[in-house]
Structures are given as structure tokens and as C-alpha cells.
Structure 1
Amino acid sequence: MKGIDQAMNTLPCQGCKGLCCGPVPITGKEFKKIQKKVKTFPRKIRERLERQPRFFGTCIFYDIEQDQCGIHDVRPEICRAFGYHKELVCFRKPELATKEKISFKESPVGYLSIDFTWKDF
């Protein structure tokens, strides 16, 4: 039963093509974690991600070919909270946004794709 409940509370990201993935504010700590992760990418993966076309403001790490986050294990806090808080509603499954307003411990230092681009990683 737990597996069914968990599946029912999952965001329907497959097929979304990253439309909700941006702009993504990141903190200094998140920037460093992402930078460290990207340095471990094999050259082919990095190059494939870099040359993918994106809508303006969409996260540079959203892998449109794989239809998934390219840095999922180090994704920013806002990405982890998206869809579950009232001010971060998923348009495909708005009923999941039951948590109150999110408060972040650290202020963002910029936005992925706008302030931070591939040259920063």
C-alpha cells in the first residue's frame, strides 16, 4: 500500500520537457555542490547537455533528450520543494501543493541559465 500512496504523490514530470525547471535560484552552497558534480561528468555527457536547445530561463541542467534532471542528486532546494508547496504548484498535479510557504535558510546568489551558465561550471 505504501508504494501506491507514494506513486500517487509523485509529480508527473515525464513528458513535461522541463517547462517548470526554471528560472532556478541557487545558493552559494548549491553552486559549489553542482560545480563539483559537473566536474565529474564525462565529456560526452557535458557536451550533449550543453548543446541541447532550451527555452530562455529553463535550467541548463535539464536533459531534454532524457526528459530528466541532469544533476538530480545535487539539485537545488527549490527543485526538491517544487510541486509540494502552495507557491510552487505543478500545473499538471496542483493537488500535491499542500505544504505552506517555503522558507529558505540561505539567500540565492543567482539563477541557473541567467546568472550562471555553462562557462561557470
Structure 2
Amino acid sequence: MTGGLAAAVDLGVFSFLITLEEVPLAMAAVLSFLTATVVNYLLSARFAFGAAISLRGYLRFLAAASLGLAINVGTTVLANRLGAALLLAKLLGIAVAFVINFAINLTLVFPGAEFLRKR
């Protein structure tokens, strides 16, 4: 659910930014992803993993999300160049990055967090 809300933020900010002609596609994808990362950290730390929210935790989360960012933007741009509509390309980028980001969060950012004990 936290990932879904962050994805909605990502897609919403992206949709807005691509309407601005002076914002290039890749920059819109990066800015929307970074905005969603803040939302995702706050929701994930609190509700998914039961971890304390801190600047240090967010910076660790952001560092781990860097790989997801590259995959998200790369997938978005590649899918668009292969003929996918902009929003479909962005949805593909979100989906691929979601899987990788969740695995990183589970194993590296929030190891041993509440999420593991609840399941």
C-alpha cells in the first residue's frame, strides 16, 4: 500500500511535469521519483517496517533507492523510445523499480524491522 501511494505521487508529479514543455522527459522522471521517495520513506518506515523516522534513515533509504531511480528512469526512457506512450512508459518504470526497491528495503535499509516479524 505504501508503494502504491508513492507510485501515485510519482505518476501524478510526472504527469504534471511533462505538461511543462521546458522540462525534459528524463528530468521529469527523476523529479517525480525523488518526490515519491520522500513519501515512500515516511510511509514505509512508519507503516510497513515499523521503524523510527529520521534524517539518517531517510538518507540511507535514499542511497538505496539510487539503483531504483536509475532503473525507473532508464525503463521509462527506453520504453518510450521503443514506442510506449509516456504514461505507460512511466508505469513500467515504476513497476520495475518497485520490485528492486522493496528487495533493497527489506534486506538492507530495514533489516529485522517489524515487517519481518508480522509475516
**Greater share of helix residues, 1 or 2?**
2
TM-score, with structure 1 as normaliser:
0.31
TM-score, with structure 2 as normaliser:
0.32
Structure with the larger RCO, 1 or 2 (CA within 8 Å, 6+ apart): 1
**Greater share of strand residues, 1 or 2?**
1
